[in-house]
Amino acid sequence: MCRHIAYLGPRAALGDVLVTPAHGLVRQSWAPRRQRYGTVNADGFGVGWYAEGDPVPGRYRRSGPVWGDETFADLTRVVHSTALLAAVRDATFAGADGEAAAAPFAEGRLLFSHNGAVRGWPGSLAPLAGALPPGRLLGLEARSDSALIWALVLHRAAGGEAIGRAVAGTVLDVGAAAPGSRLNLLLTDGTTIVATAWGDSLWFLHDPGTRTVVASEPYDDDPSWREVPDRTLLTATRTDVLLTPLEEPTA
């Protein structure tokens, strides 16, 4: 239903990661190779990146298909970064939130994307939503399951949990509240990538000490790509990739 990607590595044009590869994210917006749900990702897109000397990432998001945005083509040609997160969206439900519903969501140094759908949304997550502070709930950027999941992650992090633990705990909570949900989360702070494989495809490409790419699917046919097992938390830097099983919630 969506495709997303995060990159840590040598300084590169955004287009070298998102456009130039034979099966890059832009091509995945209309011709994904491993998407299990939906076929075209034309309901919005976005990219977030980090500029040297600025801890807060920049973002560019729009509500339409990425292939029709000429500004995006120029942006990815001239903007360079050592870290980025980008996504193309196939909306689960029609809505009026426009680009506000397009990933990446952001807070502070963090960029976030969700590939999947919450089963029984919105009622299934009412208990979890009700436990959030009113300010966090009222401050949701969009009326979508992804925006609520992001708020749940941030609430855990604000309570002192490391971001990997906050992501894992949120996935387990949502999985228990809404069994059958697809919860592939992707997050970066510009130095670390945290992701989950939960109901859809997730892959990584790792050149130790050089680059790490985590994506819904490979952007080329390099045999070094590795698939992440389902129900797994991935934590990665430019030097290491750690895979940790996520325990399936039980009734």
CATH classification of the domain holding 66: 3.60.20.10
Chain centroid to Cα 172, Å, comes to 17
Q: Into how many domains does the chain fold? A: 1
Q: Where are the alpha helices (DSSP H) in the chain?
A: 14-18, 25-28, 70-78, 126-130, 134-138, 145-158, 163-177
Domain interval for residue 160: 2-245
Q: Are 195 and 214 in contact (CB under 8 A)?
A: yes
What gap in Å lies between CA 79 and CA 183, rounded to an integer? 30
| Percent of the chain's residues with pLDDT above 70 | 96
- The answer as to whether 19 is a domain residue is yes
Nearest to 196 by CA among 220, 163, 225, 151: 163
- The answer as to whether 250 is a domain residue is no
- The answer as to whether 219 is a domain residue is yes
Q: In whole numbers, what is the pLDDT of the chain averaged over residues?
A: 94
- The answer as to whether 55 is a domain residue is yes
Site of tokens 């011709």: 31
- The answer as to whether 22 is a domain residue is yes
pLDDT at 96: 55
- The answer as to whether 146 is a domain residue is yes
H or E segment and range at residue 92:
none
Is 196 a residue whose pLDDT tops 90? yes
1, 2, 83, 177: the catalytic one is 2
Higher pLDDT, 7 or 40: 7
Instruction: Tell me whether residue 2 is one of the annotated catalytic residues.
Output: yes
